[in-house]
């Protein structure tokens, strides 16, 4: 390998290490630079090992594979959400945050090493073909998926519009493998959906926080004529919303709040210490009763919204404990078109609560009724296995309760911060056709329809 290509490959490693070292140099240090010197000495060891492998390993190895593997190993020891993104992975990330890509419309993960469907995205080819949450993908177009990476699986699944991909599925309860052909299409993820429930309740569901989520939110509120029609209340459904862009979460919160702090972030670098405030413009009348639905699949950006609404007493939070991802990831582009997703700060609600590894506790706890395919009697251990949260992840950051750095007055910059979605499994949200079985939604509707009755009740004077 010539020196020019070598340094092109080694550059991402140098940038990744520099980013970590920079965070140390911004902290008060002893006069001695022994720590930094020791780090650079270890870099010499890395270079030596790389050289030995390239020259002496029994088979010739690809230098890019070795260097990228080293970077991944370094970042992996930090926390579950920091990651190195090879050029193709970084490209896929940019495509997904824009909300449009070619494929079949499924969210996948590796569960115990097996390619598993988290959930089909609504109104997509996979959803219409009958792919279900929990399905294990054994083959893609006849190619066995054992030991296949998520990126390789995505490459096989995505393709030209109109062509079919054959998924061989292992489904719980079935005695044989299922072959499901799915025709590819341009997948446009609709981050916001809405509808009226009856004539008196407005319902808005936010599936993810993407580039244009706030625009879709405004469209939803205008389409429902919120503020014009005599609604008894508004339901904001954040269940199984895995997060997304921080600036969009702030803007969605701002749509319901006319003043005050929405969220603040704290990190080791000064530019990560920011405060986001609501402005005077709101899109929902202040006196319109509001309930936000959350569950164990509500994470990150959706927890920011729920926390702000709860702290300002703008909405009742109903459902189950949220996921508990209270960290912010910054995407750092690298010169070879790869990227570094690095946890750079923690966020706190207006009342200075840290959600990290804890989550948002609902004001009204309502569990979902068991589905027919689930056990009627389920142990707590089995339930926890189905519902992983941040605190269950290896190397997760602990909750220190208090902001780790004294608050400052820096406000948010114009450039939006990017906060990435967690990669953990999220349980499928009940769809509209399952509404009659949706105990959380039904409870919210019931509360809003009786809101005025209870608000007008006054304690009776004690009998003398």
Catalytic residues: 300, 311, 325
Asked if 187 contacts 124 with a C-beta cutoff of 8 angstroms, the reply is yes
435 HSE (CA, 13 A, CB side): 11
Asked if 341 contacts 316 with a C-beta cutoff of 8 angstroms, the reply is no
Rounded Cα distance between 69 and 64, Å, is 8
Q: Which residue has the tokens 């803007």?
A: 251
Collapsing DSSP to helix, strand or coil, 193 comes out as: strand
13 HSE (CA, 13 A, CB side): 23
266 HSE (CA, 13 A, CB side): 18
Rounded Cα distance between 88 and 104, Å, is 19
Rounded Cα distance between 218 and 223, Å, is 8
Report CA-CA distances (Å) from 151 to 85, 92, 139, 140, 178: 10, 9, 15, 13, 23
Rounded Cα distance between 127 and 431, Å, is 11
CB proximity list for 340: less than 8 A, separation 6 or greater: 12, 15, 16, 19, 75, 82, 83, 84, 85, 331, 332, 334
The two tokens of residue 227 are 């503020």
Asked if 299 contacts 276 with a C-beta cutoff of 8 angstroms, the reply is no
Residues 322, 324, 329: CA angle, nearest 5 degrees: 130
The number of residues in the chain equals 464
């Amino acid at each position: 390998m010539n020196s020019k290509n070598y340094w092109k490959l080694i550059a991402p490693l140098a940038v990744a290490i520099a980013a970590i070292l920079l965070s140390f140099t911004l902290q008060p240090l002893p006069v001695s630079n022994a720590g930094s010197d020791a780090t650079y000495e270890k870099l010499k060891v890395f270079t030596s090992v790389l050289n030995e492998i390239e020259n002496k390993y029994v088979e010739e190895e690809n230098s890019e594979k070795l260097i990228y593997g080293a970077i991944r190993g370094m970042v992996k020891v930090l926390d579950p959400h920091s990651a190195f993104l090879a050029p193709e992975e970084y490209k896929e990330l940019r495509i997904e945050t824009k909300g449009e890509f070619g494929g079949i419309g499924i969210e996948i993960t590796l569960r115990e090493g097996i390619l598993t469907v988290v959930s089909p995205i609504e109104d997509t080819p996979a959803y219409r073909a009958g792919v279900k949450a929990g399905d294990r993908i054994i083959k893609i177009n006849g190619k066995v998926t054992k030991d296949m990476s998520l990126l390789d699986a995505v490459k096989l699944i995505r393709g030209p519009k109109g062509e079919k991909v054959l998924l061989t599925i292992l489904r719980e309860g079935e005695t044989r493998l299922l072959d499901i052909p799915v025709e590819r299409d341009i997948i446009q993820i609709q981050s916001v959906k809405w509808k009226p429930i009856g004539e008196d309740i407005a319902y808005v569901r936010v599936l993810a926080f993407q580039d244009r989520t706030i625009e879709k939110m405004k469209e939803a509120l205008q389409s429902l004529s919120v503020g014009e029609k005599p609604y008894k209340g508004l339901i904001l459904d954040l269940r199984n919303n895995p997060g997304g862009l921080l600036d969009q979460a702030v803007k969605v919160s701002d749509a319901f709040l006319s003043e005050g702090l929405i969220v603040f972030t704290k990190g080791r670098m000064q530019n990560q210490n920011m405060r986001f405030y609501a402005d005077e413009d709101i899109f929902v009348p202040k006196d319109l009763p509001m309930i936000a639905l959350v569950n164990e699949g509500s994470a990150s950006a959706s927890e920011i919204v729920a926390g702000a609404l709860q702290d300002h007493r703008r909405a009742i939070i109903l459902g189950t404990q949220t996921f508990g991802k209270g960290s912010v990831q910054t995407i750092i582009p690298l010169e070879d078109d790869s990227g570094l997703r690095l946890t750079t700060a923690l966020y706190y609600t207006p009342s200075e609560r840290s959600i990290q590894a804890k989550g948002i506790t609902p004001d009204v706890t309502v569990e979902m009724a068991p589905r027919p395919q689930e056990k009627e009697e389920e142990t707590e251990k089995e339930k926890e296995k189905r519902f992983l949260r941040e605190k269950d992840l290896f190397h997760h950051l602990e909750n220190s309760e208090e902001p780790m750095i004294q608050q400052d007055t820096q406000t948010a910059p114009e450039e939006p911060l990017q906060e990435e979605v967690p990669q953990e499994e999220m349980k499928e949200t009940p769809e509209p056709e399952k509404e009659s079985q949706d105990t959380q939604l039904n409870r919210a509707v019931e509360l809003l329809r009786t809101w005025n009755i209870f608000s007008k009740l006054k304690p009776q004077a004690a009998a003398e």
